[in-house]
Amino acid sequence: MSDSALTILLAHGSSDPLWLQPFFDLEQRIQARTKPVRLAFMELASPSLDDVIADARKNGFQRAVVLPLFFAAGRHLRIDVPRQIEQLTQQWQMDIQLLPPIGEHSLLSDAIVRIAGEAIDASHPSDHT
Amino acid sequence: MSDSALTILLAHGSSDPLWLQPFFDLEQRIQARTKPVRLAFMELASPSLDDVIADARKNGFQRAVVLPLFFAAGRHLRIDVPRQIEQLTQQWQMDIQLLPPIGEHSLLSDAIVRIAGEAIDASHPSDHT
């Protein structure tokens, strides 16, 4: 167990439950893999990153990897989250690694380009005649 | 021209230029296709949806399709944006269609699951021995 890392999917959060739901759905799909995965929200929703890290430590994890489910690295990911992770690292004596946001991964931008392509094609039905 | 629809990629927006940049990059990649595409921000950044719709009308477009670059449909996409589109439709006598956010498209959730899978695999190097 001690060598295992918890992967944390970090979403922004919202007070709107309908906004949160797709992230819980993603957590479930990813948890269907065998490795330990948890969803956490940066603000406005539970569980918070603090909660998930505290749980992880209590469950024996010494390492965590945080994957931000964000399109881009704004101030939250450049300043607020690194500061919070530094504090949590010291508090729990845990190795916590912050990954780049998924928006910087080519798989995500490629998917967006394909989805936009579908929308564009569908909006020009006359081209298909 | 009159039968052509402008596709508008609608992002949330931010006062942080570093947050905006990936969306401008996406706009460029998608504009590399032949169909007319514009990026717009819901708030906090330019161009706004109002700006882009006004430009579109002046350039002869009678139709626009709005693809939200959002992970989920929170209050913004369920209430604020439809209300704004209704107002713009009347103001410009234009046919403006709001699509579901890209986060509801299986291509996007599949990409996120794959990116998370990579992160999980990378965090468990001992499994590969």
Query: A77: closest CA among A47, A50, A42, A52?
Result: A42
With CB atoms and an 8 Å threshold, state whether A33 touches B117: yes
Query: B113: closest CA among A69, A114, A52?
Result: A69
Query: B111: closest CA among A67, A10, A65, A109?
Result: A109
Both tokens of B56, joined, read: 């579109």
Both tokens of B1, joined, read: 């021209």
Give the CA-trace dihedral at B76, B48, A76, B104, to 10 degrees.
40
Q: What residues of chain A score a pLDDT lower than 50?
A: 1-2, 128-129
Q: Which residues of B touch A71 (CB under 8 A)?
A: 11, 22-23, 69, 71
pLDDT for res B129: 43
Largest CA-CA distance found in chain A, in angstroms, rounded: 64
pLDDT in tens, B111-128: 999 999 999 999 886 654
pTM, full prediction: 0.93
pLDDT in tens, B46-103: 999 999 999 999 999 999 999 999 999 999 999 999 999 999 999 999 999 999 999 9
- ipTM of predicted complex: 0.93
Q: Does residue A47 have a cis bond before it (omega within 30 degrees)? A: yes
Cα separation values, A71 from A10, A103, A104, B66, B77, Å: 12, 4, 7, 18, 17
Mutate to test the interface with A, among B43, B71, B76 (most CBs of A within 10 A): B71
- Report d(CA A25, CA A38) in Å as an integer: 12
Asked if B103 has any chain A CB less than 8 Å from its own CB, the reply is yes
